[in-house]
Amino acid sequence: MSRVAPLSGFPEFLPAGRVVEQRVIAKLAETFELYGFASVNTRSIEPMDQLLRKGETSKEVYVLRRLQAEAESGGDTGFGLHFDLTVPFARYVLENAGKLQFPFRRYQIQPCWRGERPQDGRFREFWQADIDIVDRDELPTHYEVEIPLVVGDALRSLPIPDVRIHVNNRKLSQGFYQGLGLSDPMGAIRAVDKIDKVGPAGVAKLLSEELGAADDQVKACLALAEIATDDESFVDAVRALGVSDPLLDEGLDELATVIATGAEDAPGLLRADMRIARGLDYYTGTVYETFMDGYGRLGSVCSGGRYDNLASDGKNSFPGVGISIGISRILVPLVSEGKLGATRDVPTCVLVALPDTDSRRDCDRIAAKLRSRGVATEVAPAAQKYGKQIKFAERRGIPFVLFPSSGTDGHEIRDIRSGEQSTVDIDSWLPPTTDLRAEIQRTGE
C-alpha cells in the first residue's frame, strides 16, 4: 500500500493534542455557562441561498452533492456546509423565535468548513466557539460591552499566550467616511479591512481607483486607521481630524463606553483600534478582533460584532451581538510547535498489572471497582515482567500502576513518577484530584 499523504487544511491531532482540544472546549463551555449562556447545536448544512445572503463568501462555501445524483437533478447543489456559526444561528433564531426567551444568550462549539487556501492558522475544517446575545426588535448597547469581557475571561482562563481584543465601531467608521463625502462608505470599510494584507499603499489605491476618493480623502482615511489607544483618548484623536457626522458621534460615544468599562473591569484586555473594520456586511455597531501575543502572523484569533439586520422574518427583527473564537486557529500552532501538550496521552490513571494470564478476570474486577469511583483504569495487555508493564505505563504517561495481591496483604499502588509504593484498600483508595484526568500543560518554555 502506498504511503497516505495528509490532506492540507484538515488538521488532525495525535491523542495528546486531542486532550488539549477537548479540555479547551470544556473550559470555554464552563466559562460561558457561568455567564448564563445556553448551549445550542445547529445542523452542519444550510440552503445555499441562506449561506450566501450576507457578505462575499461564495468562494468559501463547500457545496454538497450526492455521488449518485442524477444529472437532471442539478447535482443537489442547493446545500452547503456552514462556513461559520453566525449565519446558521440567525436561521435557528427565526425558526424557534416562538419558543425562545429573549434576550437569548447562546453559546455554540462546533466544526465549520471554509473553502479557502490553507495557510498558517487558516484551515478548511476547523473548530469554532461562538457566543451571542440576541433580543427582539431592540438590543441594549450594554451587551456590546459584556461580550468582549466574557470572551476575555474565557481566553484568560486557558494556558495560552496573552490576548488583546481590538475594538472599533462600524457607526464610527461609516459616519467618518460619510462626513468625508465618500460616495460608498461601506466600500471604504471593506477597503480599510484589507490594510493588514495590502498595506496602507494598497488601501490608498483601492480607495482612489475603486471608490474615486480624492487625495485628501484617502489621507484622512489612512489617518483614521492609524489611531489606536488603550483609553478614551481616541475620541479626541478622531475629532482632531476635523470630520463631523451624527453617525460618527454615535459611534464614538458607544466605543468610548466599551473601552472605559473594559479598562475598569478587565485592565489590559481591550484596545480601541480604528483599523478594525470587519469586512462582512451584516455588522452594524461595535466590532472586535483579537490578537495573541507572539502570534501576530495568525491575524485575529477571535472576531465578531453587533448585527441588527441578520435575522428578520419581515415582521420582527432580532438584533444581536456576538463573537467567535477560532479554537483551531489558536491550538494547532501551539500544539504543533510544542507550546501546549497534555499531562498524558491517554485517559488512563491506573494500570492494573497482570501477574499471569490466569489472573485476568481478577484484575478486571479490580479495574471495575476503580472505575465505579470515577478512576480511569485499564488492565495490562499481557502478563509480562513487571518492569515491562511499568515501562508500558511510563510510555503513555499513566501515573499509577496497581500490583494485585494474591493473599491478604493488600494491593499495592506505585506512583511511577516518584517511585513511591504503598499498600492500599482498593475499596476506598483514590488518586489525587490532579491525576484523575489528563490535563493541559504548557511545554517547551
Contacts of 438 (CB under 8 A, 6+ apart): 16, 19, 23, 342, 343, 344, 345, 346, 347, 397
Task: Give the cell for residue 80.
Answer: 452547503
- In the prediction, which pLDDT does 69 show? 64
CA distance 109 to 384: 44
Least confident residue range of 211-215, 365-369, 373-377: 211-215
Q: What is the total residue count of the chain?
A: 445
- In the prediction, which pLDDT does 65 show? 82
Would you give the DSSP letter of residue 117? -
- Whether residue 228 contacts residue 273, with contact meaning beta carbons closer than 8 Å, is answered with yes
Looking at the domain that runs over 350-429, which CATH code has it been given?
Answer: 3.40.50.800
- In the prediction, which pLDDT does 281 show? 74
> Residue 71: is its pLDDT beyond 70?
no
Bridge partners, 167 (sequence order) = 272, 288
Looking at the domain that runs over 15-341, which CATH code has it been given?
Answer: 3.30.930.10
Q: Which helix (H) or strand (E) holds 397?
A: none
- In the prediction, which pLDDT does 280 show? 72
> Residue 337: is its pLDDT beyond 90?
yes
CB atoms within 10 A of CB 226: 12
338: left (phi > 0), else alpha (psi -120 to 50), else beta?
Answer: left
**The two domains 15-341 and 350-429 share their CATH topology (first three levels equal):** no
List binding-site positions. 84-86, 114, 128, 132, 278, 282-283
Task: Give the cell for residue 290.
Answer: 483579537
Query: What distances in angstroms separate CA 156 from CA 24, 165, 437, one per listed residue?
Result: 11, 12, 21
List binding-site positions for L-histidine. 84-86, 114, 128, 132, 278, 282-283
- In the prediction, which pLDDT does 55 show? 53
Domain boundaries, the chain: 15-341, 350-429
Confidence of residue 54 (pLDDT cuts 50, 70, 90): low
Confidence of residue 52 (pLDDT cuts 50, 70, 90): confident
The rounded mean pLDDT for the chain is 91
- In the prediction, which pLDDT does 75 show? 46
- In the prediction, which pLDDT does 58 show? 63
CB atoms within 10 A of CB 419: 7
- Give helix 170-180 / helix 215-225 axis angle, nearest 10°: 160
- Cα R_g (the chain), whole angstroms: 27
